[in-house]
Amino acid sequence: MSAYPQSSQSQPNFPAPSRHSEVKLQRLNAEYVEAFLKSDADWYERHLAEDFRCILSDGTMIDRARFLADTAQPAAMKRFDVEDVTVQFEGDTAIVQARAVYEKADGTHGQSLHTDIWVGRDGRWQALLAHATTVAGA
């Protein structure tokens, strides 16, 4: 038995990746970050797959319910700039990667790398997996 939740099959008629799809994923990534900064758990409620999970920068894996609860708490960031966003497609799956340069409310600075996996399900993009890695010494 797998340690990870099983997913349902994606829509076989989900549109093929296009420039429109790339723009859509770029926008979803920007909204994802904005929702994080505004503690907007409702946005995530609408955009996370039911079997969503997240790997935090310390290696902890959390499920959708824990992610939603954590996201509802204040982000405590003075600045969070997202750079170098890339979108890669493989069928009805999109991989969005980015680098964030941030300053926390306590004045500490840092950088992190993010990978988000989006899947085409039910005629829309849903976030399936998020992974954040803190850049050492940044």
Identify the residue with better confidence: 21 or 114: 114
- Where does the chain have alpha helices with state H? 19-37, 41-47, 64-71
Q: Which domains does the chain have, with CATH numbers?
A: 19-134 (3.10.450.50)
The rounded mean pLDDT for the chain is: 88
pLDDT tier at 97, thresholds 50, 70, 90: very high
Residue 12 predicted with pLDDT over 50: no
Beta bridge partners of 118: 94, 127
Residue 10 predicted with pLDDT over 70: no
Classify residue 71 as left (phi > 0), alpha (psi -120 to 50) or beta: alpha
How many whole angstroms separate alpha carbon 133 and alpha carbon 114? Answer: 6
* Range 60-67 average pLDDT: 98
Residues whose CB is less than 8 angstroms from the CB of residue 108 and which lie 6 or more positions away in sequence, other chains included: none
Q: What is the pLDDT of residue 14?
A: 53
pLDDT tens track for 26-59: 999 999 999 999 999 999 999 999 999 999 999 9
Lowest mean pLDDT among 15-24, 41-50, 122-131: 15-24
Within 10 angstroms of residue 82's Cβ, the number of other Cβ atoms is: 17
